[in-house]
Amino acid sequence: MSALEALILGLIQGLTEFLPVSSSGHLEIGKALLGVEATDDLLFTVVVHGATVLSTLVVFWKEIVRLLKGLFRFRMNDETVYVLKLVVSMIPILIVGVFFKDTVEGFFGNSLVLVGCMLLLTALLLTLATYLGSGKHEIRFRDAFIIGVAQCVAVLPGLSRSGTTIATGLLLGNKKESVAQFSFLMVLVPILGENLLTLFSGEIGHSAIPLGSLAIGFLAAFVSGWAACRFMLRIVRKGKLVYFAAYCVVVGLLAIFL
């Protein structure tokens, strides 16, 4: 993979990991347009996912420190309850990752028609959330689990993880600010866990991607991920998700017909 291709795919990963337009779907489209198999290289995938996790830690570092301080007081306070809700939201994706990993991987690299259809579904969810999301209360344990189930469904290429989880939270009546932060924090441990399992599984052999390209992909994903995360927080507060719905419709139809 060339440095330019790594830069493009890193930017795609960073931007679309947080914007509700599906990172997996855009990477599939990017792979098809560039004619490279970068997403099949496990090391590149681990590197760019690690970059987006790091960008999330940078954006939310104050909140993460506050949660950890409260958790390690070892009593039932607001921080401990919030962390428990995050744990509950991770249960569904843990089950899918352990028992259905091969099934999920089978959806990738087969058809851009599936990507296009899932982008249209993303558009529908974002539109419903824009006009029907009430934003009355903070996230409850039941909401956390349902949002976790939504995250499982969003493993399909083209169905945005952030878009699906945020839209689900809003449709459940949760406040906009709470849903956006929860959506970004709930994915940290699953991504880190998946990356560590991949690194120690022995699946990563000698990478054909030059070290320089890996570094460029990492930096591109980190910087674009940091910017996209901060931008998305503002967009959710303002309730402007319908603009991304329109974008998903256009890209989804292009993926299906072209």
Q: Which residues contact 101 (CB under 8 A, 6 or more apart)?
A: none
DSSP3 helix / strand / coil % (the chain, rounded to 5): 80, 0, 20
Q: Say what the pLDDT of residue 132 is.
A: 86
| Residue 250: strand, helix, or coil | helix
Closest CA to 182 of 143, 155, 221: 143
What's the average model confidence in pLDDT over 142-154?
A: 93
- Token code pair at residue 243: 């603009």
Q: Say what the pLDDT of residue 38 is.
A: 47
User: pLDDT for 24-36, tens place per residue?
Assistant: 667 667 766 766 6
pLDDT of 18 strictly over 50: yes
Q: Is 101 within 8 Å of 142 (Cβ atoms)?
A: no
∠ Cα 100 47 150 (to 5°): 35
Q: Say what the pLDDT of residue 108 is.
A: 60
pLDDT of 240 strictly over 90: no
Q: Which residues contact 231 (CB under 8 A, 6 or more apart)?
A: 18, 19
Residue type, 176: K
Q: Say what the pLDDT of residue 238 is.
A: 79
Distance between CA atoms of residues 255 and 258, nearest Å: 6
Q: Say what the pLDDT of residue 146 is.
A: 96
∠ Cα 151 154 160 (to 5°): 110
Q: Is 176 within 8 Å of 134 (Cβ atoms)?
A: no
pLDDT of 109 strictly over 60: no
User: pLDDT for 248-257, tens place per residue?
Assistant: 999 889 888 8
What's the average model confidence in pLDDT over 217-243?
A: 88
pLDDT of 59 strictly over 50: yes
Q: pTM of the predicted model, to two decimals?
A: 0.84
| Residue 60: strand, helix, or coil | coil
Q: Say what the pLDDT of residue 206 is.
A: 60
What's the average model confidence in pLDDT over 59-76?
A: 92
Q: Say what the pLDDT of residue 39 is.
A: 46
pLDDT of 107 strictly over 70: no
Written as one string, the DSSP assignment of 154-203 is TTSTTS-HHHHHHHHHHHTTB-HHHHHHHHHHTTHHHHHHHHHHHHHTT-
Percent of the chain with pLDDT over 90: 35
Distance between CA atoms of residues 119 and 47, nearest Å: 25
**Residues belonging to the chain:** 258
Distance between CA atoms of residues 100 and 129, nearest Å: 29
What's the average model confidence in pLDDT over 119-123?
A: 92
| Residue 79: strand, helix, or coil | helix
pLDDT of 12 strictly over 70: yes
- Average pLDDT of the residues of the chain: 84
- Find the distance separating the first CA and the last CA of the chain, reported in whole Å: 25
